[in-house]
């Protein structure tokens, strides 16, 4: 995989409603330990909702996939928070473009203790902007039909909810960019 140059123009600092300050930035290959720690800190349910299977401990292969992105076809943005112990990842959003280069698949997950803090909206705003700038035409994802919080969130962002006829436990979320 040929990596594009690190997209430093996507790095931003944002202040949340509660006064905390976070960074939204593209993931780096050296974020492997932060990413592994982030996944481990997610509750089992949150990991299940994100990966759509039980992930007890992140494998080296999974961490490699999540941190070794090319910034073109595969872009991942993390939300990082600095506390007294250093930087920690508290959320991430990513897209992976289809081979046709017109559509992309979405993934997003927020640390349990940071849900409803506003970072999901900040991550999605940045991700949607990056996808549009890349020239992608549509963003899609597959979500459990019982994941009401996620469905409410993406509806507010203008995603359409479509049934998956072959699997009634899932729905497809789609947004024209």
* Half-sphere exposure (Cβ direction) of 74: Cα atoms closer than 13 Å: 13
Could you tell me the residue range of the domain that residue 41 belongs to? 8-136
Task: Examine residue 172 and state whether it is found in any structural domain, yes or no.
Answer: no
- Average pLDDT value for the chain: 92
Provide the 8-state DSSP code for 165.
T
Tell whether 22 is covered by a domain: yes
Assess if residue 25 is contained within a domain: yes
- Residue 142 in any domain: the answer is no
CA distances from 76 to 19, 20, 49, 72, 123 (A): 25, 22, 18, 10, 10
Instruction: Give helix then strand counts, H and E, for the chain.
Output: 5, 8
Domain count, the chain: 1
- pLDDT classification of 55: cutoffs 50, 70, 90: confident
* 2 falls within a domain: no
pLDDT digits (tens, 9 = 90+) for 123-153: 999 999 999 999 999 999 999 899 999 999 9
In a domain, 29, yes or no: yes
Helix, strand, or coil (residue 90): strand
Tokens of 167: 């699997």
Residue 128 has which token pair? 């949607």
Token pair for 90 = 């508290």
- 85: pLDDT confidence band, cut at 50, 70 and 90? confident
Instruction: Say what the pTM is.
Output: 0.92
Does residue 153 lie within any of the structural domains?
no
- For residue 127, is it within any domain? yes
157, pLDDT greater than 80: yes
* CATH number of the structural domain spanning residue 109: 3.40.630.30
């Amino acid at each position: 995989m040929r990596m594009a140059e690190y997209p430093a123009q996507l790095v931003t600092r944002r202040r949340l409603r509660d006064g905390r300050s976070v960074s939204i930035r593209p993931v780096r290959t050296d974020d492997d330990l932060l990413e592994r720690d982030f996944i481990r800190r997610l509750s089992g349910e949150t990991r299940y909702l994100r990966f759509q299977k039980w992930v007890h401990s992140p494998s080296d292969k999974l961490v490699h996939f999540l941190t070794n992105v090319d910034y073109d076809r595969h872009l991942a943005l993390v939300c990082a928070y600095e506390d007294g112990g250093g930087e920690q990842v508290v959320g991430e959003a990513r897209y992976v473009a289809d081979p046709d280069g017109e559509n992309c698949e979405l993934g997003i997950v927020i640390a349990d203790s940071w849900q409803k803090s506003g970072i999901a909206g900040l991550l999605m705003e940045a991700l949607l902007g990056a996808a549009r700038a890349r020239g992608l035409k549509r963003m899609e994802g597959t979500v459990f039909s019982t994941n009401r919080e996620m469905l409410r969130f993406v509806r507010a962002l203008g995603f359409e909810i479509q049934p998956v006829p072959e699997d009634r436990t899932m729905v497809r979320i789609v947004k024209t960019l």
